[in-house]
Amino acid sequence: MLRRTWMAMPLLGLAVAMAAGCDETATGIGDGTGPIEISMAQSSSAAAGADVTIQDDESGDFAIVPLTTFTSITVTVAEVHVLPNDADENEESSWIRLQPVEAGATIDLLALPSDDDGGVLLARGEVPVGSYHNVRILFTEARVTLDQTIELGNRTILSGSHELHIPSGAQTGIKIPGATFSVEESDTEEITLVFDASASVQTIVAVGPPTETRLQMSPVLTVR
């Protein structure tokens, strides 16, 4: 049994389905199918005492708060995709799409198990055997909960739940281009994506009018 582990920013059983028009002749893809499982965990080495900078997009005012100010970061996962070697990531038909078993599943990224414990299953199924070099996750909604009120010049961000914007999260997805792996017919390829909280929320941007503040996070995706 093969296993790969990555660090990712940016959840539950999923059944696999091929996207319409997927190019099965892409380099690295052969005949037959093999099993694959994708899980997500939280980095066991992330610094719990890390500081987070929250910056006002318009005024430039900022505040520095501890990571523990964030009591939850929840995301609703719409789809998980994998990309064969040498396939064009800009062509939607190149991606192999995984369908959620539980539609609209929402997870708290800060409550994920440690990568030492194996993580939570995101996706599993049968895909064409061969080599792959990218994984992406699409979100329909994300929210962040603060345990204190934060002042940014003329902007006040109240404690409680706020909409969280993840750039491209709902359109092209959060990509992990360094997630290289091979799928074989006989062995289940197990992949664990690791969320590093301290790196991913190093800077949060407050956008929109002060009365309708949205917070924006750009996930840090790295390969271990």
Residues of the chain where predicted confidence (pLDDT) is lower than 70: 1-28, 30, 46-49, 99-103, 219-224
Q: What is the pLDDT of residue 54?
A: 92
Decide if 111 contacts 120 (C-beta within 8 A): no
Residues whose CB falls within 8 Å of the CB of residue 138, separated by 6 or more in sequence, listed in order: 77, 78, 79, 80, 81, 169, 170, 171, 172, 173, 174
Mean pLDDT of the chain: 80
The pLDDT value given to residue 96: 93
Would you state the pLDDT for residue 101?
58
Over residues 25-74, the pLDDT tens digits come to 344 576 899 988 888 888 877 666 678 899 999 899 999 998 889 999 99
Contact present, 6 and 42 (Cβ < 8 Å):
no
The helix (H) or strand (E) run that includes residue 23 is: none
C-alpha 45/C-alpha 47 separation (Å) is: 6
CA angle at 70 for the pair 149 and 165, rounded to the nearest 5°: 90
Residue 118 is predicted with a pLDDT of 76
